[in-house]
Amino acid sequence: MEEVQANRVKRVLVLNASYEPLNVCTVRRGVELVVRGKAEVILPVDGLVWRAEKLKVPVPSVIRLRYYVRVPWLEVPLNKKNVLRRDNYTCQYCGRRGKVMTVDHVVPKSRGGKDTWENLVCACPRCNARKGERTPEEAGMRLLRPPRRPTRLQLLLWEGLPDPRWRQFLFF
């Protein structure tokens, strides 16, 4: 298959047969699922076609699987990368954004703080050092927003919404 202008669209929303969002995949994988008859194009990208020698497939933005896939409830893994992604690489104390960020325990480990979604936040090195082994209240600092456990859907969309038409399938 030859990729024709597919670089304009990098991701495809994959829906279950019940129209429940399942995953986000590459355009190549989305076209492959359509060609193999495992999925159908629900929303094509206007004017873009994936061409092969004897085949033309509209470049998909949203596809739906032709069969129902039973998916166990997946928990988002708790790790540094995902905490930083959840907080959009933004210090939760001062609002500074950057590539070099740390993860801070809101309630310090030395005070019984656990490694949980609700106790970990993205912090710039300066704010993390300033807070030290204190709570935000003791350090005179406030969190921009309370830390929460992300949903599976949020995990799918941490890089943003590539096509605004996806909203109708994402229960907004």
CA distance 89 to 100: 8
Would you say residue 67 lies in a domain? yes
134 and 162 in a single domain? The answer is no
Is 166 or 156 the better-scoring residue by pLDDT?
166
Residue 67's nearest CA partner among 33, 17, 15 is 17
pLDDT tier at 5, thresholds 50, 70, 90: very low
Give the tens place of pLDDT for each residue, 20-69: 888 889 999 999 999 999 999 999 998 899 888 888 989 999 999 999 99
pLDDT of residue 115: 97
pTM: 0.65
68 and 13 in a single domain? The answer is yes
* Residue 114: CB atoms within 10 Å: 10
Percent of the chain with pLDDT over 90: 63
CA distance 89 to 147: 13
**6 close to 50: Cβ distance less than 8 angstroms:** yes
Would you say residue 110 lies in a domain? yes
Is the model's pLDDT at 159 over the cut of 90? no
Is 163 or 15 the better-scoring residue by pLDDT?
15
CATH number where 128 lies: 1.10.30.50
pLDDT of residue 83: 95
14 and 35 in a single domain? The answer is yes
The token duo for 34 is: 């359509």
110 and 65 in a single domain? The answer is no
Would you say residue 144 lies in a domain? no
Would you say residue 146 lies in a domain? no
Element at 136 (helix H, strand E): helix 136-139
Q: Count structural domains, the chain.
A: 2
Give the tens place of pLDDT for each residue, 74-87: 788 899 999 999 99
Q: Indicate the SS3 state at residue 77.
A: coil
What is the per-residue burial (b if ≥16 Cβ within 10 Å, else e) of 116-136? ebebbbbbbeebbeebeeeeb
What is the residue range of 53's domain?
6-72+153-169
86 and 132 in a single domain? The answer is yes
Scan for tokens 């069969």, then name that residue. 67
**170 close to 153: Cβ distance less than 8 angstroms:** yes
